[in-house]
Amino acid sequence: MEHVNTWKKYKAADLKKLDAVCESYKEFISKCKTERECVDYVVNAAEAAGYRELESLIAAGKKVKAGDKVYSVMMNKSIVLFQLGKKPLDEGMNILGAHLDSPRMDIKSNPLYEAGEMAYLDTHYYGGIKKYQWVTLPLALHGVIVKKDGTTEEICIGEDEDDPVFFVSDLLIHLSQDQLEKKGAKVVEGEALDIIVGHRPLQITKGKKDEEKDPAKDAVKAGVLDILKKQYGIEEEDFLSAEIEVVPAGKARDAGFDRSLVLGYGQDDRVCAFTSLQAMLDLPKTLDRTVCCILVDKEEIGSVGATGMQSQFFANAVAELLNLTGDFSELKLRRTLARSAMLSSDVSAGYDPLYDGVFEKKNAAYMGGGMVFNKYTGSRGKSGSNDANAEYIAHIRSVLDADEINYQFAELGKVDQGGGGTIAYILALYGMNVIDAGIAVLNMHAPWEATSKADIYETYRGYVSFAKGVTI
C-alpha cells in the first residue's frame, strides 16, 4: 500500500490549527522535562478545564454523574483523568494511555565528589540510551530535594539564559586512538557519565578580612556545597532524599527551513502524552462512553513500581470512581476494565533513509505519514508484545476513516533487528482491546528527538476521534 504524505491534504485553515497545537506542544516539552513537571502541568490544565480531584470528592462524600470530569494523581508522577459518559461505567471506557518518563541520567544518592580539582555529580543512567550521545552537551538539573523536616526544594538549573549549565566531558580526539577501537556500547562507560558541576575552590578566611585566605579541604567540592547551602539551604546529606534528573538544557525548537519538524528532548513519549491530554481537554461535553486518559511513569524501565503501569493505581482509581457513581462491585470493576478499549499512545520508529538497512520499507512508519499503529511491538518473534485482534482494528479504521484521519501501520524495524515494548500488554491483561498508536520519531532515545508537526496534529485529531467514536 502506498503511504500518503499528510502535508499534501492540508488547507490554510488546517495549517493554522496545526501550528496552534504544535506551538502549545513545544511549550509543554520545553517546560516539562520530568514526570513531576508533567503532572503539575496536567493538573493545572485539567483544573482549568473543570476537572476535580478524585480524593477530594471522596473526602467530601460527593457523587459523580455523566459529564463530570475527575482526575487522580499518584505520588506526583502519574495521573489519570476521566470524563464520565452517559452509559454506565461497566459498559467500558475509551482509554488513551501514554507514559511521562524519558531516558536520562539520574543523580545518585551519594553523588558529590572532587577529582583533579573538579567537582562532579555521579549519575546512573535511566532507560535505554546510547551513552556516547550524552557527552559534551549542555545539561540541566531538574527535580526535588526533600529535607528531613518535610520541606521540599524544587530544582531547575540550566534552563534560564542566566543559569549555569553542566556537562559530561569526553576524551579529546588527539588521545582517543584506543577509545575509538571500542564498540559503540563501550566508547563511553556508564560510570564515566558524571557531570562537572564546579571548578573554583572555596577559600576560608581566618580573622581579619585582609588576612591571607587558606584553602579548604576538597576545596572545589566545598565550594559547590557552599553555593548549595547559601542558595538552596541544602546540605550534602539531603541528596539522600532527592530526585534529580539530568536532562538536555534548552527549549524545543522548530527544525528545517520549512519549520516542519520539532526537535526537542523527551518526545518519547511526551509527544503522545501531550496529544492525549489535548484530545481529552477538547472532547465534547456529552459523551456516550466514559473517556479516560492515563499518563504514567517508569515505562522506560519496565513499568515497575508504584507509579508504573504494573501497579494497582489505575484499577484502584476506577474502583473509587465506580463507588462515587453509587454502583461499585468487584464484578462491575472487572467488567469496566474488560469491556474498555484502549490506544496505548506510544511512539514508533520513524523511517530514516540514512539507516535504510534496519527498516522493512513496506512496514515502516514514515515521517509525515500520519498517526502510526503498531499491531504488535515486542522483539523478534513478537516476544513481549500485545497483538491486537483484527475485529478491533477494523472498528478503529472505520472510526478514523469517517473523520478523514491520516494513519499508517508499521513495525519497529526488520524482524531480527530488535524491537521494543510499551504499556499495551499490561492493560490487555484486564481483557480489554488494546493497540499501540502514536507518532513516528527520529533519533528516538537520543538527547534531542525529532517529530513531524503533521504527525503531531494528525495524531491529536485521531485521539479525539477514537475517544468519542469507538463503541466496541
Residue 362 pLDDT > 60, yes or no?
yes
**Confidence class for position 250, pLDDT limits 50, 70, 90:** very high
Give the per-residue pLDDT at 383: 83
Residue 108 pLDDT > 60, yes or no?
yes
Give the per-residue pLDDT at 386: 87
Residue ranges making up the domain that contains 198? 104-248
Residue 211 pLDDT > 70, yes or no?
no
Q: What is the mean pLDDT of residues 213-228?
A: 86
Q: What is the mean pLDDT of residues 250-256?
A: 98
Residue 376 lies in a domain: yes
Residue 260 lies in a domain: no
**Cell triple for 114:** 572532587
Residue 33 lies in a domain: yes
Do 418 and 287 have their domain in common? yes
Do 98 and 122 have their domain in common? no
Q: What is the mean pLDDT of residues 108-117?
A: 96
Which of these three, 215, 248, 281, is where a domain ends? 248
Return the CATH number at 293: 3.40.630.10
Give the per-residue pLDDT at 77: 97
Return the CATH number at 171: 2.30.250.10
**Confidence class for position 207, pLDDT limits 50, 70, 90:** low
Do 235 and 281 have their domain in common? no
Do 438 and 309 have their domain in common? yes
Residue 206 pLDDT > 80, yes or no?
no
Give the per-residue pLDDT at 384: 81
Tell me: the pLDDT tens digits for 18-42? 999 999 999 999 999 999 999 999 9
Do 289 and 433 have their domain in common? yes
pTM higher than the cut 0.75: yes
Helix, strand and coil content of the chain, in percent to the nearest 5, comes to 35, 25, 40
Residue 416 pLDDT > 90, yes or no?
no
Residue 314 pLDDT > 90, yes or no?
yes
Total number of domains constituting the chain: 2
Give the per-residue pLDDT at 12: 97
Tell me: the pLDDT tens digits for 125-171? 999 999 999 999 999 999 999 999 999 999 999 999 999 999 999 99
Do 289 and 148 have their domain in common? no
The pLDDT > 90 percentage for the chain reads: 89
Q: For residue 463, which of 422, 419, 407 has the smallest C-alpha distance?
A: 407
Residue 258 lies in a domain: no
- Rounded Cα–Cα distance for residues 218 and 329 (Å): 62
Q: What is the mean pLDDT of residues 435-454?
A: 97
Tell me: the pLDDT tens digits for 258-302? 999 999 999 999 999 999 999 999 999 999 999 999 999 999 999
- Rounded Cα–Cα distance for residues 124 and 133 (Å): 15
Residue 19 one-letter amino acid: D
Do 277 and 401 have their domain in common? yes
Residue 295 lies in a domain: yes
Highest mean pLDDT among 88-102, 226-240, 367-381: 88-102
**Cell triple for 249:** 538544557
Do 97 and 111 have their domain in common? no
Do 201 and 299 have their domain in common? no
Cα-based torsion angle of the residue sequence 377, 383, 386, 390 in order, rounded to the nearest 10 degrees: 80
Which of these three, 248, 282, 309, is where a domain ends? 248
Q: What is the mean pLDDT of residues 366-387?
A: 89
Do 92 and 111 have their domain in common? no
How many other β-carbons are positioned within 10 Å of the β-carbon of residue 89?
A: 26
**Cell triple for 122:** 555521579
User: Cell match 527544525: residue?
Assistant: 255
Give the per-residue pLDDT at 213: 59
**Confidence class for position 209, pLDDT limits 50, 70, 90:** low
Arithmetic mean of pLDDT over the chain: 94
- Rounded Cα–Cα distance for residues 142 and 161 (Å): 15
Q: How far is CA 51 from CA 46, 57, 163, 266, 319, in A?
A: 5, 11, 35, 26, 18
Do 354 and 459 have their domain in common? yes
Do 231 and 278 have their domain in common? no
Question: In the Cβ-directed half-sphere of 112, how many Cα atoms lie within 13 Å?
Answer: 22
Residue 253 lies in a domain: no
Q: How far is CA 356 from CA 34, 89, 366, in A?
A: 33, 46, 12
- Rounded Cα–Cα distance for residues 339 and 333 (Å): 10
Which of these three, 196, 222, 248, is where a domain ends? 248
**Confidence class for position 74, pLDDT limits 50, 70, 90:** very high
Residue 255 lies in a domain: no
Min mean pLDDT across 166-175, 227-236, 329-338 is at 227-236
Residue 1 lies in a domain: no
- Rounded Cα–Cα distance for residues 284 and 115 (Å): 59
